[in-house]
Structure 1
């Protein structure tokens, strides 16, 4: 539910889960969009067939500061901040069935094509080439959402989900998961990466 001071736009997706999701049961999906009137940052709450996902925008400055505090130098922290970063919370809302999620199967779609979220393995290759200290690489791995995880009923996890899009990009995200042995998918429209904040021209 939205916190104090949040404006809410909510709608039910036109397709029923029974149509949008293979093997669905006809349960309608729901997506809510919350905008903080003070910061302007947006969060999305999606509820699908036995799974929910919350995505919160992270400003590039927030991402940069976070990793500067975890052993990254300015150049490498700025490199991360140049990507599209969300704080994600994924929850298995089914009371009896497990859910398996593999972010490598997810796809973000823009007019320029489709791409998957960047997994930890790709990042670790990048950090090795940049000679990032081991302690910083470990901190990054723990901050990132796991690439693959099996959720028992009621289980949840949180972490950063990073896309290879520049700040301010708008995209559709197709989420894939497996509920027990049944494959499911759904598309979350019009997600938006946070942009660089507007600065007063008088600021140095």
Structure 2
């Protein structure tokens, strides 16, 4: 009995739980810090449930892979976010298309989700385009179709007042959607 109890408690240790969830990844240079934190379907469902979202809308979020993105412009000039310059590709070479704000809006309108919920959801997403001033930070979620495959993000950030400065190229490998906790 003691052995079974000890084994069960061992399964709940923080080290084991951390291993079940992919770790956040950080890309950092003198100019930019980009952090990607995978969120499980359960985490996101709980977040939206806590804000009163209907079950049908929560079900839609469970089908997506969420990453919370944190960005920090560490330059002395403008840095430009444009998620059109972000490409996701599975390790076997297949493209993985991010789910756009427009695609989410179409889903919500098709199910007649009240505008207050649509607005709340939109507020949680990373802006598709944004200019960052020196030392400015921004964050939000980016969503992809749920997959069990590892994938890579390749992103380009323009710099300078008119986007004419040297581009910053980012590559983050071995990204994974977070699964649900046991």
Query: TM-score scaled by structure 1?
Result: 0.73
Q: How many pairs were matched up?
A: 161
SS at match of 1:169: coil
- The equivalent of 1:4 in structure 2 is none
Query: TM-score scaled by structure 2?
Result: 0.81
How big is the shift at 1:171?
0.5
* Structure 2 CA distance for aligned equivalents of residues 183 and 148 of structure 1: 15
Which consecutive unaligned segments of at least 5 residues does structure 2 have? 1-13
Give the structure with higher Rg (CA): 2
How big is the shift at 1:38?
5.7
Which residues in structure 2 correspond to 1:98-109 (within 5 Å)?
Answer: 98-109=78-89
Residue 171 (str. 1) matches residue 151 (str. 2): yes
Change (3 A) 1:112 1:129: farther
Judging by fraction of residues, say which structure has more helix: 2
RMSD: 1.8
* Structure 2 CA distance for aligned equivalents of residues 165 and 175 of structure 1: 20
Residue 57 (str. 1) matches residue 41 (str. 2): no
Contact 1:105 1:116 in 2 (8 A): no
- The equivalent of 2:11 in structure 1 is none
- The equivalent of 1:160 in structure 2 is 141
How big is the shift at 1:114?
1.5
Which consecutive unaligned segments of at least 5 residues does structure 1 have? 1-35, 199-204
Judging by fraction of residues, say which structure has more strand: 1
How big is the shift at 1:158?
1.2
Residue 66 (str. 1) matches residue 51 (str. 2): no
Structure ranking higher on relative contact order (CA contacts 8 Å, 6+ apart): 2
Q: 1:46 aligns with which of 9, 27, 34?
A: 27
